[in-house]
Chain A
Amino acid sequence: MSVTVRAVPASAPLRRRNPVLAFIVAQPLGAAGLLVILAMGTAAIFAAVIAPYDPEAIDFLAMLQPPSWAHPFGTDAFGRDILTRIIYGARTALTIGFFSSFLGCTLGGLLGTASAYFGGVVDLVIQRFVDVILSFPIIVLALVVLAVMGKTSVGGIDVNLIFAIAIPIIPRAARVIRAAALSVRAMPYMDAARAGGYSSGYIILRHMAPNVLAPFLILLTAYVAQAILLEASLSFLGLGVSEPKPAWGLMLAGDSSNFYREAPWMILFPGLAISLAVFAFNLFGDSLRDWFDPKFHS
């Protein structure tokens, strides 16, 4: 789960008139990634319309069927359509991926900015905290957090799972944002602002926040990918999403580990779905970083 981001001022991409077009021209791979993300997002939102079957209903008459016209990706041991479960699974993956990344990056961003702005004891305390959390292997931390909080879902969303995935992101985001904020802090206009008697809150919002926005966005994208992977791993271990809710990692666990030798479609397609989603987010995140980095435009 290592993401490297350079701290850069958010000025570079505004040179052309149409930034979307400019992005596509400069970063075709990233644009392709974005396209995949948008397609998956659309599928997730309109799952009920697109998906041919009910994702949770058991159909004993259609158990373990290989891919066919009726079931393009085959069916699982309960006769549930795998394509349908992958489409609904996108909903689970994207929701958990986005919210845990957002939560982790936001909390990490706040900590990092505070650490950089206040310095001194605040910085020291936050940095020790960051060190401690970083010392836990990610999956181990998520496992323990989930074991402690249990599984609770609110309105069908696994809130505790989102927390468990967000927590390892916090210190990593805090590190990066702190570095970005430190470089801003050294700028002369910060002294001017402070001398002008503006409150800390104002200075952070007005001057620091816009400058850490670029690394924040890059981090956010990159960690959505990591969060999707982590959710898949946790669900695979039986600690994430619960059956019969459709989730990609879950589709690789349980019966699949029993049947995949004779029904390989049960693991092939969910695995591809995870890989494609993470791939797309990584591609887009990478390009976003290059795009924001002025060195790559010289």
Chain B
Amino acid sequence: MIRYAARRIALMVPTLLGVAFLTFFMLRVIPGDIVEVKLRADGGHVTEEILHRERARLGLDQPLPVQFGEWMKGLVTLDLGNSMWTGRPVKEEIGARIGLTLQVAVMAAIISVLIAIPLGTISALFRDTWVDYVVRIFTIAGLAVPSFWLGMMTILMLLTVFHWSPPVTYTSFFDDPLQNMAQLIWPALAVGYRYAAVVARMVRSSIVEVMREDYIRTARAKGVFERLVVSRHAMRNALLPAITVIGLEFAFLVGGLVVTEQVFNLNGIGRLFVEAISRNDFVLIQALVMLLALVFVSMNLVIDMLYGVLDPRVRYG
């Protein structure tokens, strides 16, 4: 198990290196740079020479391999550099926002599990009846409705029905849980619906699959109550694919909140990313892409490890 884990972690290195390489060189092809946005915005009147000087200060005049080397050196020593827009350490910029994004993602995950597991199970048990059809339509709709639109409709509904709009400034959960929830529950619901739909579909199909397996038939033939069969055997084995999906979707969500954060005016990682892109803040974009890739790759690793713990049939070679 430990050897397997070590090998898996070692395999992460080339993947992350590939992401780094691709990101770095793709970004250098983008037309325009942050210096112009910074100095020419709002009618700024600056000469070419000033632009050159600022570029030199940010190290943008160095040859690309040198810049890449510098960045890699920084990554290894966990120094992500400074944002080219604010000049503050990227670590601080991300640190100030990651809490919010993670909280929304975790809340969405909880919502999705609470909805998806009972719904998926019911749907599987009543397969091909009207119950199943209703649940399936509900879940397919969850995949179809854009979460940012759902967010806009939610705000609209709160405004027209309750004449109330969620608070716009972030309060930490530990300072004022109520205020915090009043702001973040809505985006969590908006993305949670889609999340729940994905998980429910997975739960349904894996239960359907498991129910067909021989040992379930044996259990049934033995006269054990159907409900018990479901809860004991089927649920446990159906859990694995569900966990996979929950984990993968969580990793996606951290990056996928980009649009929803925009709608709810959340100061999270997604908005930081969109802003960084619009200004060509290379240092920040690179750091964010690496962070999101790391979350994704580690989530995969965790899922694989969990398989080993939950399912004794899985052997690590």
Contact = CB atoms under 8 A, between A and B. Distances in A.
Asked if A and B touch directly (CB within 8 angstroms), the answer is: yes
Given A140-B273, A275-B144, A275-B146, A148 B27 contact: yes
Interface stretch (B78-86, B227-235, B248-256): B248-256
Interface string B136-164: 11001101111011001100100110000
Contacts, number: 136
B199 to A, nearest CB: 10
A264 B145 CA distance: 17
Interface in A131-149: 131-132, 134-140, 143-145, 147-148
B125 interface: no
A29 interface: yes
A110 B268 CA distance: 38
A271 B190 CA distance: 14
Contacts of B240: none
Interface stretch (A57-65, A99-107, A278-286): A278-286
Nearest first, the 5 A-B pairs at minimum CB distance are A137-B255, A132-B18, A279-B144, A278-B144, A271-B149
Interface residues of B, number: 55
Nearest to B244: A2
A233 B255 CA distance: 13
B289 interface: yes
B145 A136 contact: no
Interface in A1-15: 1-2, 4
A282 B18 contact: no
Contact of A128 (B15, B31, B262, B280): B15
A233 B259 contact: yes
A237 B258 contact: yes
Interface residues of A, number: 46
Contacts of B27: 144, 148
Nearest to A234: B259
A225 interface: yes
B14 A271 contact: no
Nearest to B141: A279
Interface in B255-283: 255-256, 258-259, 262-263, 273-274, 277, 280
21 contacts: A1-B252, A2-B248, A128-B18, A132-B19, A137-B251, A139-B256, A139-B259, A144-B277, A144-B285, A145-B26, A147-B280, A229-B144, A237-B274, A261-B156, A268-B153, A271-B146, A274-B145, A275-B149, A277-B144, A278-B145, A279-B144
